[in-house]
Structure 1
Amino acid sequence: MNRQTHLSKLKSEEYDICVIGAGASGAGVALDASLRGFKVALIDRSDFCAETSSRSTKLIHGGVRYLEQAFKKLDFAQLKQVKHGLHERKTVISLAPHLAKPLALITPVFSWVEGMYYSIGLKIYGMIAGDDGMPPSKWLNKKETYEHIPGLTKKLHSSIMYYDGQFDDARYTVAMVQSAAKLGASVSNYVELKDFQKDGSGKLQSAKVKDLVSGEEFQIKARLFINCTGPYADAVRLMADPSEEKRMRPAKGVHIVFPSSYLQSKDAMLIPETKDGRVVFVKPIDNEVMVGTTDTAYDNLDEEPVLEDEEVDYLLETLEPFVDQMPKRADIKAGFAGVRPLLAPKSSNRKDTKSLLRDHEVEYDQSSGLLSLLGGKWTTYRVMAKDAVDYACDLLGKEAECTSEQHPLVGNQSNNFSKVNFEKEANQLGLSSSTVEHILEKYGDQAGEVLSIAQNEQLTDLIIEGYPFIKAEVVYALRNEMATKLRDFLSRRLRLEISDWNASIKAAEVITPYFRQELGWSEETAVIELTEYVKMIEEFKRKANVG
């Protein structure tokens, strides 16, 4: 994915569909539409998966909270969501098994009655999932519980263990973008929509956009524009048709990350109820532990949401009854915040974001011809994309079935890749077992390309000590994954920023020369980019009052 090559196509060619927004839903739509034979353009004003889709809890699940609410409130629309999610959980894992895997979750309970309640609920959860390869839920006694997570509180009675999926959300999105590009889609990050141009009947015929790297403005012509901008969807909807009413009710969710020594486990924990009626997950992430999430209304979409002081307090307070030794604020290594694209019905004034469904809707604006994919959640991204592209087929007069369920993503497309041979070659280069495992999990069958760069360009050294990342990965991301800014690599290609802020600053200093070399940065640009990145991380630490 060479950015300049794709930009040249965007400037000169005409498209059937232009997808605006390259998060989970946008990348999914671009891939589905490409598979059905449409000529597709995909743009995003930031990096691929830079916003909501990379700020998730990294879980693929039906939603245990929705299941409980379905029965408590007799709201069986929530049960439908659970069913869709659990069906798609199997598909998401199968399309990119190097990036998505099963995960055991332990739900601590403090009495026999509580254990029975959660055991019945999770049995129903498993029944809805059906035979999808996940082990059944199991009631663990106290001794068995500590064998799974030694760091849990000594006050617990027992626990319920069940399985869901976990994944690398940002790399999964990049794999979808790469897969769409491989099928002929023209894709680019850092291309911002500025305005639409309309024909005589008021229908959209082109988008005026700006390359935020070069500053150049140009037009993208397409027969249909699909708005996949998540919580920012209203801005695009109103740009296309100012008479439309706002639909999005954004909600902020945050996570904190602390050392794994406090729980000493590869398994995750579900805190089944917080003081405000949420569930919170405590799960491993890149050899650390992540805790999240929260749910508060968020209106300031012009600024990036960040982890704040009182949100750290909330998550630590929520965690305290469940662990034997509490991490201190000074132990927190990183954190992140995202905005959920919660969807309100038209003419609704509801304010409580917890009451809004995370279901999705495909909205067609008759006046402008804009198609918008609204709401939804990560686990059902493929169904969301299918619904949007089905609608696009009707509008554009094309008959083509959705095949995305059977199309493996880049990283899972080669029948010739051998893990055994890769490990042998990597060992000969002197790479550690942790680095070998990391490369296989991040790149799948593309791992050999990373290894080739490492061997041919002598880039086997670690980026920083204490982490398995090697310098060849920087060059690979710059040449093949359209990494354009330091943060693209550190936050989304590598995921270091969201697990260790201080390490991310050190890594930024090491990788800057490679960005300069591969992207042609001047010395001045390199200094500015590095300075701004370090300043941003220090501001994150200040607002969270950690580090």
Structure 2
Amino acid sequence: MSEPSVEMLEGRTFDVLVVGAGANGSATAEALAIAGYAVLLVERSDFGSGTSSRSSRMLHCGFRSLEGAAGKSLWQHLTQLPDRLALLKSAREQLAARADFVGAMPHRVRPVTIVMPLFRGGVGGMQMDTAAALLALLGTGGIPLDYKRLKADNLDDLPFAEWLLPRHDLAGVVTFRDYVFDWPERVCADQALAAERLGAEVRNYTSVNALRQMPDGQWSATLRDEMNGAEATVAARMVLNLAGPWIDSVTGLVSAETPQRIAASKGVQIGVALPERYKDHGLVAATDKGAFVCIPSQGLHLIGATNSKFTGDPSKAAATDAEINDLLARANALLPGIGLDRSAVCYAIAGVRPGSRGSSGRIVHDHAADGLPGLVSVTGGTVATSRQTAKSLLRLVVQQLKVSRPKAGSAPPNVLEAGRGAADATAFAAEHARTIADVALRRTGEAWSTDFNEQTIQDIAASLGASNGWDQARIAKAISDFRAELAELYRRDLGSVSSPQTDISRSTACPS
């Protein structure tokens, strides 16, 4: 599975050029390759290193769409029928996306029990019962909802109960089954590598520096290797712009007159360590500052998320002290017994959501309406709905292009587990890993674990150095670059030492 150099791509023609190898781009490349299209997938950084890696890591079952609509009067439903139908459609799409994702990648997801508190004056138990009945009618794709409603005086030893019970307005909780994907970066890499095994050309660290439509209707793209500066020009019959928050930058290469499609917003999550018995439980709640989530992920829990407008370079988005402190304050207010402080924060993730300007949800933009036939962009897509995005784009491509080779069939799943270890780093050359971050964050997932340390970084660097012929100076620079990335983008300092903790917060202190 050797990677072609950029120069080797010079002059080649593809059916479809897919720009961006996050969840949407990698899933689409795989779907197109299965169908028999000649595909080139390029990513300016590494697979899944952008917005996809900052995902909430949840496959929602639809409750968040329905909880506000359940329990309304018949007159309210009739007078707000379009809104109610939109909510039902959203819930049905979430259920379908969850079932599809779980069925296609069972080795990348796991079920968790979600706890949702009910407060007096807020959404009531009967409303949630109605929402659960609606979800069952919409169809859960064969995945049990496992819905239960519990009174505040009957929570026993349910995780989160002891931290909720100091609240006098707690009326009870509901619990239900949802799924999390601990490792969204690996999902993207799996799909990109599956596309490659099916015949697609796949390149990370390759940017599109120029894009124009030729007189015959095909597209010409100039590619640049971000590692060595080499360039090549290729042709494609269609271009799918799935570059996430960089979508407008890609269309801007074609024409400055193309309307802006992205409404970017920044979301921050913090990773904290909770007691072992919480590992299969999460919590979601509606607050006056928006949705609050606390989701188990690779031995920690992710608490989020903030939501603010964003301008600037998405690759430089990082959590501020104010945003981290805001999430801690929200957690302590919602869960009075949790007692979190800054020493509990292992890392912080900041992602830029590529929302759709003037609308919500996923939108497929066919730029034929802008006088650019054969160019298509997608805004508002998520990891959870990426397979649905891929199916939508496949249908669109089929309408416009005939396949150029026999249908390939599906590739066998890549069932590699997180934490393969630094000793396996030489094997990652076949998976296009070029940096310590590629291995630690996206090929093994070790950097997200509670016991990630300096020795692991040294081991990965040594293995990469041996397989790539790096000298000691190059190895030292790779380590320095990675530590700087951890500190700047993920607010993780492996050299930090936790301060003394109270009895409650000691159990939630981040291991150092």
Which TM-score band (shorter chain)? Answer: 0.7 to 0.9
Instruction: Name the aligned partner's letter for residue 380 of structure 1.
Output: T
- Among 104, 108, 111, the alignment partner of 1:99 is 108
**Partner in structure 2 of residue 514 of structure 1:** 463
Q: Which residue of 2 aligns with 1:333?
A: 346
Task: Give percent identity, aligned residues only.
Answer: 24
User: Who is 2:164 aligned against?
Assistant: 153
- Any stretches of 5+ residues in structure 1 without a counterpart? 346-355, 413-438, 443-467
The residue that corresponds to 1:433 in the other structure is: none
Partner of 1:475: 426
Task: Return the letter of the residue paired with 1:178.
Answer: L
Aligned amino acid, residue 56 of structure 1: S
Within 5 Å, give how 1:70-219 maps onto structure 2: 75=83, 76-111=85-120, 114-141=124-151, 142-144=153-155, 146-149=157-160, 151-155=162-166, 156-167=170-181, 168-200=183-215, 203-219=217-233
Match among 457, 482, 491 for residue 533 of structure 1: 482
3-state secondary structure, aligned to 2:178: strand
Under a length normalisation based on structure 2, what TM-score does the superposition of the two structures give? Answer: 0.84
CA contact (8 A) 2:159 2:281 kept: no
Higher relative contact order (CA 8 A, sep 6+): 2
Which one-letter code corresponds to 1:289 in the other structure? H
Distance 1:505 1:365, change over 3 A: farther
The aligned counterpart of 2:385 is 380
Residue correspondence of structure 1 range 401-440 to structure 2 within 5 A: 407=410, 410-411=413-414
Size of the alignment, in residue pairs?
A: 476
Instruction: Sort the Cα spacing of 1:170 and 1:364 in 2 relative to 1 into closer, same or farther, 3 A.
Output: same
* Shift in CA distance, 522/198, structure 1 to aligned 2, threshold 3 Å: farther
Q: Which shifted more, 102-111 or 212-221?
A: 102-111
Superposition pairs for residues 216-227 of structure 1, below 5 Å?
216-227=230-241
Shift of 1:8: 6.1
Query: How has the CA–CA distance of structure 1 residues 385 and 525 changed in structure 2, closer, same or farther, with 3 Å as cutoff?
Result: same
Shift of 1:326: 1.5
CA distance in 1: counterparts of 2:55 and 2:406, whole angstroms? 30
Instruction: Name the SS of the counterpart of 1:42 in structure 2.
Output: strand
Could you say if the C-alpha distance between residues 267 and 108 of structure 1 is closer, same or farther in structure 2, counting changes exceeding 3 Å? farther
Distance across 1 between alignment mates of 2:192 and 2:115 = 34
Which of 272, 290, 300 is residue 288 of structure 1 equivalent to?
A: 300
What one-letter code is carried by the residue in structure 2 that aligns with 1:538? Answer: A
For residue 22 of structure 1, report the CA deviation from its aligned partner: 0.4
| Matches of 1:374 and 1:135, distance apart in 2 | 30
**How does the TM-score come out when normalised to structure 1?**
0.79
Amino acid at match of 2:264: P
Between the aligned partners of 1:360 and 1:505, the Cα distance in structure 2 is 43
CA contact (8 A) 2:282 2:293 kept: yes
Deviation of 1:303 after TM superposition, in Å, equals 4.5
CA distance in 1, matches of 2:41, 2:340: 42
Q: Deviations over 1:244-280 (max 9, x none)?
A: 110110111111011122x73123333321222x222
Note the C-alpha offset of 1:508: 1.8
1:164 to partner: Cα distance? 1.5
- Partner residue, 1:393: 398
Pairs within 5 Å for 1:340-351: 340-345=353-358
In the other structure, the counterpart of 1:237 is 251
Aligned partner of residue 27 in structure 1, secondary structure: helix
Higher mean C-alpha displacement, 141-150 vs 181-190: 141-150
Which amino acid is 1:470 matched to?
Answer: G
Q: Which has the larger displacement, 363-372 or 229-238? A: 363-372
Which structure shows the higher helix fraction? Answer: 1
Aligned-residue CA RMSD in angstroms? 2.9
Mapped partners of 1:301, 1:55: distance in 2: 15
Helix, strand or coil for the counterpart of 1:521? coil
CA distance in 1, matches of 2:134, 2:195: 37
CA distance 1:303–1:186, shift in 2 (3 Å): closer
Is contact 1:191–1:210 with CA below 8 Å preserved after alignment?
yes
Going from structure 1 to structure 2, the CA distance change for 1:219 and 1:523 (only over 3 Å counts) comes to: farther
Query: How far off is 1:518 after superposition?
Result: 1.4
Structure 1 position 324 matched with structure 2 position 334: no
Secondary structure of residue in 2 paired with 1:214:
coil
Residues 337 and 505 (structure 1), Cα distance of their counterparts in 2 relative to 1, 3 Å cut: farther
Deviations 1:473-516 (A, max 9, x none): 4233x23321111111122223343455x935542222111111
Shift of 1:283: 1.5
Distance verdict in 2 for CA 1:383–1:542, change over 3 Å: closer
3-state SS, counterpart of residue 234 of structure 2:
strand
Paired residue secondary structure (2:250): helix
Cα distance between partner residues in 2 of 1:160 and 1:516: 51
- C-alpha displacement of 1:362: 3.7
Q: Tell me what 2:509 maps to.
A: none
Aligned AA (1:196): L
Maintained 8 Å contact 2:36/2:403: no
C-alpha separation in 1, matches of 2:117 and 2:96: 26
In 2: Cα distance, 1:106 partner to 1:126 partner: 19
Change (3 A) 1:187 1:151: farther
- Native 8 Å contact 1:283 1:290 kept in 2: yes
Alpha carbons of structure 1 residues 118 and 80: separation in structure 2 relative to 1, 3 Å: same
Partner of 1:58: 57
User: What is the distance in 2 between the residues matched to 1:170 and 1:542?
Assistant: 18
SS at match of 2:462: helix
Q: How many Å separate the matches in 2 of 1:209 and 1:178?
A: 20
* SS of equivalent residue, structure 2 residue 385: helix
Q: Which residue identity is paired with 1:200?
A: P
CA contact (8 A) 1:30 1:40 kept: yes
Residue 253 to residue 409, structure 1, CA distance change in 2 (3 Å)? farther
